[in-house]
Amino acid sequence: MSRKKLRRRPSMKNSPERTCVGCRQTGQQADFERFVLDSARRVSLDVSRKLPGRGAWLHLNAACFELAERRKGWQRAFQPPVLVPDVFFEQCRQICEKEILAIAQRQRQTGDLVLGIDPVKSQIADLDAVICSATCRTGVIEFLRQSALPVVQIQLSEHQIGECIGLLKPVHVLGLSRLSSRYRERLTRFIGAADMKSRKSSKSI
Q: Which is nearer to Zn ion, 33 or 158 (CB)?
A: 33
Q: Which is nearer to Zn ion, 59 or 172 (CB)?
A: 59
DSSP assignment of 30-42, as one string? GGSEEEEE-TTSB
Rounded to whole angstroms, how far apart are CA atoms 56 and 76?
Answer: 10
CA distances from 143 to 13, 72, 115 (A): 40, 41, 16
Q: Which is nearer to Zn ion, 18 or 172 (CB)?
A: 18
Which residues make up the interface to Zn ion (CB under 5 A)?
20, 22-23, 59, 64
Provide the minimum distance between the beta carbon of 37 and Zn ion in the complex, in angstroms, as a whole number. 19
Q: Which is nearer to Zn ion, 59 or 93 (CB)?
A: 59
Minimal CB distance to Zn ion: which residue?
Answer: 20
Provide the minimum distance between the beta carbon of 62 and Zn ion in the complex, in angstroms, as a whole number. 11
- Which residues have CB under 8 Å from 157's CB, separation 6+? 133, 134, 135, 170
Provide the minimum distance between the beta carbon of 25 and Zn ion in the complex, in angstroms, as a whole number. 6
Closest CA to 24 of 92, 73, 78: 73
Provide the minimum distance between the beta carbon of 63 and Zn ion in the complex, in angstroms, as a whole number. 7
